[in-house]
Structure 1
Amino acid sequence: MGPGFRRGDSEGDAGSTSMTDTRSRRLRTLADLIRADALASQEEVTERLRSFGFDVTQATVSRDLDQIGAIKVKRGGVLSYALPDQIGAADWGTDRLQRILAEWVTGMEVAGQLIVIKTPPGSAHLVASAIDQAAMPEIAGTVSGDDTMFVCCRDQVNAHAILTRFKRMMGQKVSYA
């Protein structure tokens, strides 16, 4: 076993360790696993954590992957999870933003210097955080509510350019009508 790995850890241990300690160990182990191997799916991550004695569900793994900032990237032709320190900061922000836009955005439109973005209930903050972390100079900032967020662009031209970029990141056709 490598550093940070300890068999017998689980979410529900009633021993001397608290759930917080167990979660911290699980997150460290998860990060070590991602650095050591090309893990391509949440199912694979779940199986690997279970092999180290962690009693986890796929939902727990999904939350843990988000917590440590893991994203899927293509390395050597293989799509697998990577941590921010494994790829360039700019690439990490852009890859994460692309994934989150594709998964969580249900609609977008320009309103003056703002881009109004709609998401499922409870998800606007995820999109706002990803946009903030992408550190785009054309964007002054974001404000999020429950299912709607605003992207404040530095001017109206930038708002249209950013909307086009976001749509392309999501794989949507861009029309110039």
Structure 2
Amino acid sequence: MTSKTQRQRMIADWLREHRVGSQEEVVGRLSLAGIAATQATVSRDLLELGAVKLKRDGSIRYVMPDQVEPGHAAAKLDRLLAEWVDAIIPAGNLLVLKTPPGSANLVANALDAAGLDEVAGTLAGDDTIFVALADGTNPHAVAEMLHRRRAGA
């Protein structure tokens, strides 16, 4: 029996080493490795790994966050803030971001991948994200910066 962590490690390795263009291809690779997984499981794995689809060398494929150019991660964060974040609320040394149900993980992954100095890390539920801020960071200033990014300013 393969654990979720082992399965995700295999997927991450494949994305870094090969051109993987679809979730069905990942399901097939897992099957060849003797691991039964559905497309829905692979979809969740890719989301949790922070994998993104990019066009590279004339083909569309999944890549890991560490393979993405910084400008792409920033643009993705801006788009997701605009599309999925309903509220940004300072709360002590945290920010609380509210999203529609089922989309908090997507936004949290984008926040983590963007590598903002102000963000120490995120914790996502179904529709709420806790954003832990770096020591000495002003939560109101970070909330304002995220509001500006969300508005495209």
CA distance 1:37–1:100, shift in 2 (3 Å): farther
Could you tell me which runs of 5 or more consecutive residues in structure 1 were left unpaired when the two chains were aligned.
1-17, 169-173
Quick check: 2:48–2:109 contact (8 Å CA) kept in 1? no
Percent identity, aligned pairs only? Answer: 44
Between the aligned partners of 1:116 and 1:102, the Cα distance in structure 2 is 16
Q: Which has the higher contact order (CA 8 A, sep 6+)?
A: 2
Aligned length: 148
- TM-score under structure 2 normalisation? 0.60
- Could you tell me which residue of structure 2 aligns to residue 171 of structure 1? none
Q: Please state how far the C-alpha of 1:64 moved relative to its aligned partner.
A: 2.0
Mean CA deviation greater in 32-41 or 115-124: 115-124
- TM-score under structure 1 normalisation? 0.54
Q: Please state how far the C-alpha of 1:29 moved relative to its aligned partner.
A: 3.1
Q: Please state how far the C-alpha of 1:30 moved relative to its aligned partner.
A: 1.9
| 2:101 is equivalent to residue 121 of structure 1 | yes
- Could you tell me which residue of structure 2 aligns to residue 71 of structure 1? 52
1:164 to 138, 148, 153: 148
| 2:102 is equivalent to residue 107 of structure 1 | no
1:58 to 20, 39, 46: 39
Between the aligned partners of 1:52 and 1:141, the Cα distance in structure 2 is 33
Quick check: 2:81–2:149 contact (8 Å CA) kept in 1? no
Cα deviation per residue 1:112-142 (whole Å; 9 max; x = unaligned)? xx98743133543553454245232466887
- Could you tell me which residue of structure 2 aligns to residue 32 of structure 1? 13
Between the aligned partners of 2:5 and 2:142, the Cα distance in structure 1 is 41
Between the aligned partners of 1:25 and 1:96, the Cα distance in structure 2 is 28
Could you tell me which runs of 5 or more consecutive residues in structure 2 were left unpaired when the two chains were aligned.
none
Quick check: 1:84–1:92 contact (8 Å CA) kept in 2? no
Between the aligned partners of 1:71 and 1:150, the Cα distance in structure 2 is 22
Superposition CA RMSD, Å: 4.2
The residue type paired with residue 86 of structure 2 is: G
The residue type paired with residue 42 of structure 1 is: Q
Q: Please state how far the C-alpha of 1:91 moved relative to its aligned partner.
A: 5.0
Q: Please state how far the C-alpha of 1:72 moved relative to its aligned partner.
A: 1.8
